[in-house]
Amino acid sequence: MKIKTKQLIMNRKLSHSSILKFPQNHYLCTLKKVHKMTLPQILTPAIEKAVNALFDVTVEKIEFQTTRKEFEGDITMVIFPLLKLVKSNPVELGNKIGTYLVENLAAVSRFNVVSGFLNIVISDDYYLNFFNEIKNIESFGFVTPNPEDKAVMVEYSSPNTNKPLHLGHVRNNLLGYSVAEIIKASGKKVYKTQVINDRGIHICKSMLAWQKFGNGQTPESTGLKGDKLVGNYYVAFDKAYKEEIAQLISAGKTEEEAKKQAPIILEAQEMLLKWEAGDEAVITLWKMMNQWVYDGFAISYKNLGVDFDTYYYESNTYLLGKDVVQIGLDKGVFEKDPDGSVWIDLTEEGLDRKIVLRSDGTAVYMTQDIGTAIQRVKDFPDVGGMVYTVGNEQDYHFKVLFLILKKLGFDWSKNLFHLSYGMVDLPSGKMKSREGTVVDADDLMQEMTDTAQKIAEDLGKLDTYNADEKAKLYNTIGLGALKYYILKVDPKKRILFNPEESVDFAGNTGPFIQYTYARIQSIIRKANFDFTNKSEITTLHEKEKELVKQLELFPEVIQNAAQHHSPALLANYTYDLVREYNSFYQAVPILGEEDLEKKIFRVQLSKKVADVIASSFKLLGINVPERM
């Protein structure tokens, strides 16, 4: 019989499944070949042969899952689906297949059957061979991009130039950067980009307030980062605006009339019109203040550890897309109303009518985003997909955007993804930019460093460090705590961020994982023997085997984190790996082991765990310390 296309399913249970909820085929191994075949890939053809030889039928799909803790086994085959093809009871069927595997596949040492589940025990040889294959591969888990594959453009950050980055931007940047790095590690070329919102009434508000109240202040004269200085004037505008509204209301105006007639808002609107008309004085002021902000952003990005390959500016992109409107009209994608406005009707898709051009011929944000997406592919012809890192309040916008691009006939539109994420709250409540109560990103990073310093000093383990070493370590721990706390949570979930809790040296935290890495480095430094040669051990301790099994998952986790745009999968995998290592560390001697071959293997295994921790954390944008 001809074997049909098969699907390999491996439902590996990771810890913290409440955070890592994913479909049953989450470990679908179809993306890239990694350094070795996975267990499902090894077992599937053997099981197909077994079923065909024993029962003369062909299996369309074989389903695997992790063996439950109470039973012996490394991987479990689900028997029930085969009962549709083979007239037998599940226990008998499982025993026959298990016997065939033991007799015909060296990787299988024994098995047991529980109801409709075949629990397969994999030989120590298999895991030892696997470990010896990957122990010296520095890029283990990473796939080299194929030059012929299409690239992915990942957009994140995209701030306004009227205020500094805040806590919300921190989550955005960490998610976007990490997803870009993970997609790159999975074997794709990646471009990191952002659209800087450098125009509009909100920008003019800061400019006007500086003109009125600034007295010529500059970042140099005040000692403030440029983005903070400009942000102060955005707050100053709001304060003056509210005062004028109150005065107008007391003079008999309604609140709505006062908001529209306040002199300062009228001046801001006039400034925007001058900017659009290219007024030289306004443009000069705009360029100067924007440059202050760009310089400030650059410092924040460097401190946060994120970067970009290219930048787009709204001042250049806000007119893009208007030419596409006529193309859409010609194709029948858009429709024109009697007043001259242009719309798209998406009611059949469960959405509504969406305007793409106003009656006066001016564009809306949707038009701009259509044009920007098209322009990006023109600028980078190898781009075949895009990821937009934007908060979940824009879910509807991106549904519409992607549908429009699809209807316009762009092939790459099927590879667009909105990396939607929830907001970040603090115990003190929500943030408000206009009132100056936003949690500044720079201040937050400094607070994390200070918190790490306080906790580390309380633990009293840094007596041998000089001042520079301590400062660097506090920064590594503090930022590691911040990044891990945010990235370990599924992007779609809202976060209540607690700085003190994030710097805990126990539990599912960045510092806990960093400490384990540093512990392993200490072991390696103390190993006063050559552990580079292959160990000659032939059997594994249970804890060694479990640790190797956890290492084996790493390539698949990268692929799935890329496929699902979820750094949380990688973060929580790393925590599981560390927990498994600490269990191993407590159960068996390493440097105290008398058998040299076992000692060599355990140091090698420790080193590989540390390598994977470092690789995983690098994809999350987190540094690891050599000592703690």
Q: At 12, is the pLDDT very low, low, confident or very high (cuts 50, 70, 90)?
A: very low
Q: At 131, is the pLDDT very low, low, confident or very high (cuts 50, 70, 90)?
A: very high
Tens of pLDDT, residue by residue over 60-92, are 889 999 999 899 999 999 999 999 899 889 999
**What is the predicted pLDDT for the residue at 13?**
33
* pLDDT surpassing 70 at residue 310: yes
Q: Helix or strand or coil: residue 368?
A: helix
Instruction: Specify whether the backbone of 114 is left (phi greater than 0), alpha (psi in -120 to 50) or beta.
Output: beta
Tens of pLDDT, residue by residue over 37-49, are 788 999 999 999 9
Tens of pLDDT, residue by residue over 268-278, are 999 999 999 99
The domain 7-122: what is its CATH number?
3.30.1360.70
Tens of pLDDT, residue by residue over 136-195, are 999 999 999 998 999 999 999 999 999 999 999 999 999 999 999 999 999 999 999 999
Tens of pLDDT, residue by residue over 416-472, are 999 999 998 877 654 444 444 568 999 999 999 999 998 888 877 777 889 999 999
Report pTM. Answer: 0.89
Tens of pLDDT, residue by residue over 337-360, are 999 999 999 999 999 999 999 999
Tens of pLDDT, residue by residue over 464-504, are 889 999 999 999 999 999 999 999 999 999 998 888 889 88
Average pLDDT, the chain: 91
Residue with more model confidence, 427 or 577:
577
**What is the predicted pLDDT for the residue at 243?**
97
* pLDDT surpassing 60 at residue 236: yes
Cβ-contact 41, 29 below 8 angstroms: yes
* pLDDT surpassing 70 at residue 576: yes
Token look-up 């439902």 returns: 11
Distances (CA, A) of 319 to 322, 365, 374, 417: 7, 10, 13, 24
How does DSSP assign 158-193, residue by residue? --BTTS--BHHHHHHHHHHHHHHHHHHHTT--EEEE
CA distance 488 to 420: 15
Written as six digits, the tokens of 375 are 């322009």
What does the pLDDT average to over 105-110?
A: 96
| pLDDT above 90: percentage of residues in the chain | 83
* pLDDT surpassing 50 at residue 34: no
Q: In what order do the strands lie in the sheet with 117-122?
A: 7-11, 61-65, 75-78, 117-122, 108-114
Q: At 36, is the pLDDT very low, low, confident or very high (cuts 50, 70, 90)?
A: low
**What is the predicted pLDDT for the residue at 89?**
93
- Nearest C-alpha neighbor of 191 from the set 374, 63, 379: 379
The domain 441-619: what is its CATH number?
1.10.730.10
- Per domain, the residue ranges of the chain are 7-122, 200-309, 441-619
**What is the predicted pLDDT for the residue at 7?**
29
Strands (E), 469-610: 495-496
Three state DSSP letters for 411-466: HHHHHEEEEEECCEEECCECCCCCCCCCCEHHHHHHHHHHHHHHHHHHHCCCCCCC
**What is the predicted pLDDT for the residue at 22?**
29
* pLDDT surpassing 90 at residue 597: yes
* pLDDT surpassing 80 at residue 29: no
Residue with more model confidence, 498 or 108:
108
Tens of pLDDT, residue by residue over 254-300, are 999 999 999 999 999 999 999 999 999 999 999 999 999 999 999 99
